[in-house]
């Protein structure tokens, strides 16, 4: 038996060993703050502490299951021995199903070569950064936003962050982005939005499209590299009330030339573990992303691709599933928002934005600076200790301006869990505000 442990550096020698072994990129990587918080919460739950996990944007299977038809289709694919390598850009039947689905539901007609399938949305998002952005070029994103800082670090991009405002539902505005647009190579936005749970309006989208098109018209005159928009719409089927999902090409068709649509089954069908995502973009871009996939092998499992293709072709099954699924998510979000609205009306230091989409609620606790809560870290700890309420602050999404705002995610909780948290949180708020 070889004792490998004795050869691995520890203690004071570890830092020197890391510098000697790792690239600058690897040394600069940071773990996801969201997952760090979630893992700490998981440990407390494992110790038997009464914690309600509003942290990770995932679905607990005991709360939400994938569509029965999706499971059945995947099982049939396994039983048919569909277990070898799929094509690097995804199975033709799935890419065709995505094209047809976009035609029916979004009014967008793309060629088959516009679609690249991957193991969830993350690989194609990273591939978009990697294939479009040279080291030192600028990526422009609003804050809060998901994981943009980490993708920028991985590709060596300059990251310019523009804070968004609660009065704009935390959606980026053309006016805020305009001063930075001439230097940008890539603009990244997300709707329905993680973490805010809000949806971009058609007017907001039109303003952004006009900004991008005007900038590219200017660059065409100077020969500068084009500006592209990555539009993450992985939550697009999860909208509530009067909120309507829109895409850049729907609002201004010329944006098809400059838009990369990131999408997948993960969020809209509670299928985060099945790992099927895709990118829809101009074929001259997807061709290079396909080549990247041949090297990294980040394709979705073949049985899940077969199952996803069959589900996307079955509008009746999707509609049946989404009706119940969305109602359950909205009931949880409404329960939370209703409580915060009531407390705000009482004069307590809280506010929230009515849920519009995704599985998130934005809430502000105006408690920082009060006795025992000197900063954001103390606020997060106070919520956990006083109410068993585990949340993620907006600063974990790159937002250092909108202090006191946090994300509640309802994918792993039931109504009873929410009520148990609210029962403790109300008295705690009254006590600290008195």
Listed residue (62, 39, 65, 63) closest to 51, CA to CA: 39
Residue 318 pLDDT greater than 90, yes or no: yes
Backbone angles phi, psi at 408, to 5 degrees: -100, 125
pLDDT class of 41 with cuts at 50, 70, 90: confident
- Rounded Cα distance between 429 and 190, Å, is 32
Give per-residue pLDDT as tens, 97-125.
999 999 999 999 999 999 999 999 999 99
Name the 3-class secondary structure at 359: coil
Q: Which of 39-48, 141-150, 208-217, 281-290 has the lowest mean pLDDT?
A: 39-48
Joined together, the tokens standing for residue 330 give 């909205």
Higher-confidence residue: 256 or 11? 256
Mean pLDDT across 181-209: 98
* Radius of gyration, alpha carbons of the chain: 22
Name the 3-class secondary structure at 363: strand
Q: Delineate the domains of the chain, giving CATH numbers in brackets.
A: 13-64+319-433 (3.90.1150.10), 84-314 (3.40.640.10)
Average pLDDT, the chain: 95
pTM: 0.95
């Amino acid at each position: 038996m070889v004792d490998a442990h004795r050869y691995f550096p520890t203690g004071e020698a570890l830092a020197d060993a890391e510098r000697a072994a790792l690239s600058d990129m690897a040394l600069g990587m940071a773990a996801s703050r969201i997952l760090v918080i979630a893992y700490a919460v998981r440990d407390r739950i494992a110790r038997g502490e009464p914690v309600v996990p509003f942290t990770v944007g995932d679905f607990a299977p005991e709360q939400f299951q994938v569509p029965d038809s999706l499971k059945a289709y995947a099982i049939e694919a396994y039983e048919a021995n569909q277990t070898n390598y799929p094509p690097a850009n995804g199975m033709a039947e799935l890419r065709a199903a995505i094209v047809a689905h976009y035609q029916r539901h979004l009014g967008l007609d793309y060629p088959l070569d516009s679609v690249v399938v991957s193991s969830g949305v993350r690989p194609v998002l990273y591939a978009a950064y990697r294939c479009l952005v040279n080291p030192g070029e600028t990526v422009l994103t609003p804050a809060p936003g998901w994981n943009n800082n980490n993708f920028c670090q991985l590709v060596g991009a300059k990251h310019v962050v523009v804070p968004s405002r609660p009065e704009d539902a935390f959606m980026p505005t053309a006016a805020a982005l305009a001063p930075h647009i001439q230097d940008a190579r890539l603009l990244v936005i997300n709707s329905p939005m993680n973490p805010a749970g809000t949806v971009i309006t058609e007017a907001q989208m039109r303003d952004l499209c006009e900004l991008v098109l005007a900038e590219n018209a200017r660059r065409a005159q100077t020969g500068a590299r084009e500006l592209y928009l990555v539009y993450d719409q992985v939550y697009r089927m999860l909208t509530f009330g009067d909120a309507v999902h829109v895409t850049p090409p729907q609002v201004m068709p010329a944006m098809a030339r400059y838009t990369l649509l990131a999408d997948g089954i993960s969020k809209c069908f509670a299928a985060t573990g099945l790992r099927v995502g895709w990118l829809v973009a101009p074929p001259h871009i997807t061709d290079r992303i396909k080549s990247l996939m041949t090297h990294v092998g980040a394709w979705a499992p073949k049985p899940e691709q077969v199952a996803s293709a069959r589900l996307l072709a079955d509008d009746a099954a999707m509609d049946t599933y989404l009706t119940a699924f969305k109602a359950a998510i909205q009931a949880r979000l409404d329960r939370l928002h209703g409580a915060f609205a009531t407390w705000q009306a009482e004069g307590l230091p809280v506010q929230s934005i009515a849920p519009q989409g995704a599985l998130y609620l934005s809430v502000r606790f105006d408690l920082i600076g009060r006795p025992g809560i000197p900063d954001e870290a103390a606020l997060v700890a106070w919520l956990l200790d006083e109410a068993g309420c585990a949340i993620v602050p907006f600063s974990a999404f790159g937002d250092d301006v909108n202090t006191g705002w946090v994300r509640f995610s309802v994918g792993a909780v039931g109504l009873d869990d929410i009520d148990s948290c609210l029962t403790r949180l109300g008295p705690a708020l009254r006590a600290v505000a008195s």
